[in-house]
Structure 1
Amino acid sequence: MPLYIKDPEVDKLAEELVGLTKTTKSEAVKRALKHEISQQKRRLPMRERLAKSLAMAQEAGPFAPGDHAQETDELWDDVD
């Protein structure tokens, strides 16, 4: 869906950024939005930033190293 903004100040700021970056208005707005999103994500608490990874780790459970050679052999029915 297209983005339509009818705010003269926003248009003026976009044009200024276009002049500074020597790019199109769409590219300038895209870069500005990506930059702001990145800045906002950096401000989130670490726990919130890592929530998906923490959930996956909790679902996987504790790490239990094993005998990977034996496990592979068992998978391939190659037990001596």
Structure 2
Amino acid sequence: MPLYIKDDATANLVAQLAKLRGLTKQDAVRLAVQAELDRAQASIPLRVRVEALRATHPLPPATGQRADKDFFDDLSGGL
């Protein structure tokens, strides 16, 4: 899907970034948008991000078994 930038100031900024980074204008736009998305995601409190992750990928139910030293020794072959 094409993206047309009709604002000359924005087009000039994209051209400057592309030239500075040695990228195409398309890659410059992708880089800038990804960087802004990363900043926006990072501004969400960690607690909220973890809650969303756990809601999407819940932990399995507890088995009631203990993961003690013997358990880990058995996993490692007694090393």
Give the match's secondary structure for 1:57. Answer: coil
Using the aligned pairs only, state the percent identity.
31
Give me the TM-score of the superposition, normalised by structure 1. 0.67
Where does residue 64 of structure 1 map in the other structure?
A: 63
Q: Distance in 2 between matches of 1:29 and 1:23?
A: 10
Give me the TM-score of the superposition, normalised by structure 2. 0.68
- Provide the aligned length of Structure 1 versus Structure 2: 65
**C-alpha deviation, 1:51, in angstroms:** 3.0
Where does residue 28 of structure 1 map in the other structure?
A: 28
| Largest Rg, 1 or 2 | 1
Provide structure 2 residue ranges, at least 5 long, that are not aligned to the other structure: 67-79
Where does residue 48 of structure 2 map in the other structure?
A: 48
**C-alpha RMSD of matched pairs (Å):** 2.0
Provide structure 1 residue ranges, at least 5 long, that are not aligned to the other structure: 68-80
Where does residue 38 of structure 1 map in the other structure?
A: 38
